[in-house]
Amino acid sequence: MEFDFATLPAADRYKLLIQVVVPRPIALVTARDRAGRINAAPFSFFNVMSQTPPLVVLGIEARPDGSPKDTVQFPRESGEFVVNMVDFAMADAMNLCAADFPPGENEMAAAGLTAVPSTKVSAPRIGEAPASLECRTFTAVDIGPNGRCILVGEVVHLHIRDDAIADPARLRLDPARLDIIGRLGGISYVRTTDRFDLRRISHAEWLAREE
């Protein structure tokens, strides 16, 4: 089948795109507003895009009434936020953080997640997360007619749970210990338990293979 994006309704574009661009990592973003309120919410329109500067990018849509989500508002106000990676053990808690809690109610406490002070930013990180990326707001760009925002963060500090570091000298991590999950379409997720290695080859090696 083919789909013409010029005529496909937005809801259908969303439904298809989130099923073909998979698996997507999940950023459980913690942020703090000027009044000190803490917010936590998951986003799977998320990835790392660069190491110099070290940038992470999130696609955040507006609320149905057109107002910005706290995860757009708070990093714009404070200039900071934290991306907490999500492991299998945190899956339920992450999902609860996406529930429509009234403003001011603390999702993290309800989900049983521990707010731990960050090192360089005022927003807390999540103690249970296998890795947390402290970010300064690099830019927040409003795109499209429906209030969607692309939030870009510059990573200024990285925490990795000690047990997930297999070889500190070589900066090798243990993916099994990290146990980070990804999102497929709808309510489906994946674990990173089925892995394989693929060594990069040169053009010369490829030519030799063909002989």
Among the listed residues 25, 30, 44, 155, the single contact to ligand FMN using CB under 6 A: 44
Binder of ligand FMN out of 30, 71, 78, 118 (CB under 6 A): 71
Residue whose entry in the numeric block shows the structure tokens 């799977």: 44
As given in the structure block, the two tokens for residue 178 are 């990290």
Q: Which of 38, 56, 60, 82 binds ligand FMN (CB under 6 A)?
A: 60
Q: Are 41 and 103 in contact (CB under 8 A)?
A: no
Piece of the chain touching ligand FMN by CB under 6 A; list 66-74, 120-128, 170-178, 195-203: 66-74
Grouping H, G, I as helix, E, B as strand and the rest as coil, residue 131 is strand
Q: Between 31 and 173, whose beta carbon lies closer to ligand FMN?
A: 31
CA dist., res. 42 & res. 9, Å (int):
25
Q: What Rg value do the Cα atoms of the chain yield, rounded?
A: 19
Q: Which residue among 30, 56, 57, 70 contacts ligand FMN (CB under 6 A)?
A: 70
Amino acid occupying residue 141: V
Give whichever of 70 and 179 is closer to ligand FMN, judged by the CB atom. Answer: 70
Site string for ligand FMN, 74-103 (x = CB under 6 A): ---------------------x--x-----
* Angle, alpha carbons 76-81-84 (nearest 5°): 145
**Distance from C-alpha of 134 to C-alpha of 149, rounded to nearest angstrom:** 20
Binds ligand FMN by CB under 6 A, chosen from 42, 75, 124, 130? 42
Size of the site for ligand FMN (CB under 6 A): 16
Q: How far is CA 187 from CA 9, 13, 21, 49, 75, in A?
A: 21, 17, 15, 25, 27
Interacting residue with ligand FMN among 25, 30, 39, 178 (CB under 6 A) = 39
- 58/178 with CB nearer ligand FMN: 58
Choosing from 33, 61, 77, 154, the residue that interacts with ligand FMN (CB under 6 A) is: 61
Residues 6+ apart with CB under 8 A from 191: 88, 179, 181
Residues that bind ligand FMN (CB under 6 A): 26, 39, 41-45, 59-61, 69-71, 95, 98, 183
